[in-house]
Amino acid sequence: MQKNKERRINLLIRRRLGDLTQTNTLSAIENVFFQSMSKHDFEEHYEYLKEHKLIHATSFEDNVWFFPDPHKDRDIMFHFNLEVFKELNLALKGYILLKRLSGRAVSSCHAMLQALRYSALASNGFNNCSDLETHLIQQTPIVAYQHASIIKNFFLFYNHNQASEINNVCNSIPKPNRRNRDLPDYKDILTFDEHIIDFFRYISYGEEHVRFFPVYIWWKLTNVIPMRIIEFLTLRKNCIEHRNDETYWIKIPREKKHADSPFKVDVTDTLEINYEMYSIITKYICTLESLNIHSEYLIPFDAYVRYLIRPHQTMQQRKGKQNRLIDKYLQRLIDDFYNEIIQDESVDRITCGDTRHFAIMNMFLQGFNMLSIARMAGHDTLGVQQNYYSHIDHYIQSQVYLMAQEKSKVTFKKIVGGPLLGKTRELIDRGKIYEYEDLISFRSTTYGFCSYQEIDFPKGCAEDCRVCSNYIFKPPVNEIEMGIRWLKDYSDRLTQKVKETTEFMLTISKHMYYDLKHLSYQKTGQDQLNAASQRLVQMMDHLSAVNSTLLENHYEK
């Protein structure tokens, strides 16, 4: 019975080999054991990968294999140099082959091999469990836990004579407290946005613009479309299209496959963009052609390396097999923009992967349901999005805070008729510029005055004076503290309503009916999301209005 099961597993592996591509991930193949497979089986898997150019080596017996990594655009070296432990070395080869055939990324396979090799060398081929434990606890808590997990999984495949003791050692490594990486403060996000937009809008066009153009395209495009970095960097030069109906489209390099399960989403690879985005990409393509820089990819490596500030850096850059940028160099360009253009060490820096979070959160706040977001983001299951929503509360709070600051600045500018003296100028209370005799013509209201002069009063009024742009907070001196409490009370109530509305939207989006096969969703649920999104935007605007008054009076004191 066991042999028949193992034979079926091997047949399953072989049937799936034909479906393996660099971007197509297969379901994990479980219950495969080293002792149930022969060296000939592993050699067959090796030959398949070699035939399809997914591995480079002279023979299976080589101690060094090279796996092409499409993300890094180069071959990654895999060392199998544990020949003193021949069976263990063979098991490692077989394990890595099976993991790669099951769809695991090259970088993931390499991390597994490195963890297993170093652990084996430190523990005499896993024969000394005390040395293994010492090796693990010398790592950082996160690395130790990751390596322990890799070792445990490997010994489910390879039956070592000390497997039980090894498993005990690995189980003794505690799981570290780990949380999602904090996104930059919203004000720092806006700082970057202001600088990159102003740089390309107002500064005379020159070599620096060509150099930072990939950063500009990345920022404008991936803040709207939640793309993975590899998807952005592998955009083809002919990725955009102007159709006869005057619409503009972009094709994202995703493996467009039909969902292989009723619980998976059929993602889309062609999305509509606006004319501005189309024009930006078109301008960059024309610029590259004028510079005689040719590549089938939109963001070529040759453009990046041509404009390195320090020429000696050129020798340190790896062009890879294809003339396109990789993630490390895109991040280097972003960092260079901070260092050379923004020049503010206090600003929390954005990484090239952050914009995917921004785009998903913005889509959610605009009322997109989970299916629509999944198709745009390339998620094949709906549950993947939950990780992104952990930042929603902070994102909204930051947005409201910045909106409040901007309202104060705009109001002040309107009143005095001149520009602000720098971004860090203290906010001024609107009421402070008025003397009481100036307010005689205004209507008296709670803790202040109303400047609304139209005869249809109160038809044009907001739901509450505290959120109205015509309201001037000017309480008598002996009522200032009560007035502040009055403002704060409304701010607290609006904050709670914003939180409740956000949670309501999450609940509706999570539990509404989705027909993944036909890519449809419950209309009533979407209507509820749209209505809640409109309420959320209004409440955020009202909250920012109240908070701007609080900010102004805080600074006055």
At residue 473, φ and ψ (nearest 5 deg) are: -80, 110
Question: What's the pLDDT at 111?
Answer: 93
Q: Please report how many Cα atoms fall inside a 13 Å half-sphere around the Cα of residue 17, on the Cβ side.
A: 18
pLDDT along the chain (557 residues), means of 10: 46 44 40 71 89 90 90 87 90 91 86 94 92 92 91 89 88 77 76 89 80 94 87 92 91 63 58 90 93 92 81 55 86 93 89 86 79 73 68 68 55 31 29 53 78 66 75 77 82 85 83 72 82 83 76 53
CB 150 within 8 A of CB 133: no
Query: 0.75 exceeded by the pTM?
Result: no
Block residue for tokens 């990324």:
105
Locate 189 and state its tokens.
Answer: 């996000």
Question: What's the pLDDT at 453?
Answer: 67
Question: What's the pLDDT at 288?
Answer: 92
Total Cβ atoms within 10 A of residue 286? 10
**Separation between Cα atoms, residue 488 and residue 546, nearest integer Å:** 8
pLDDT digits (tens, 9 = 90+) for 513-533: 776 666 677 788 888 888 888
**Separation between Cα atoms, residue 493 and residue 485, nearest integer Å:** 12
**Separation between Cα atoms, residue 134 and residue 213, nearest integer Å:** 49
Total Cβ atoms within 10 A of residue 9? 17
Query: Of the candidates 487, 453, 456, which has an alpha carbon nearest to the alpha carbon of residue 470?
Result: 453
Question: What's the pLDDT at 11?
Answer: 45
Question: What's the pLDDT at 438?
Answer: 59
CB 219 within 8 A of CB 355: yes
- 31 phi-psi bin (left φ>0, alpha ψ -120 to 50, beta other): left
Q: What would the DSSP string read from start to end of 138-157?
A: TS-HHHHHHHHHHHHHHHHH
At residue 448, φ and ψ (nearest 5 deg) are: 170, -150
- Angle formed at CA 291 by CA 290 and CA 296, multiple of 5 degrees: 90
**Separation between Cα atoms, residue 222 and residue 229, nearest integer Å:** 9
Block residue for tokens 């008296």:
444
Query: Of the candidates 140, 186, 520, which has an alpha carbon nearest to the alpha carbon of residue 347?
Result: 186
Q: Identify the burial level of 283 via C-beta atoms within 10 angstroms of its C-beta, where 0-12 means exposed, 13-18 middle and 19 or more buried.
A: middle
CB 79 within 8 A of CB 63: yes
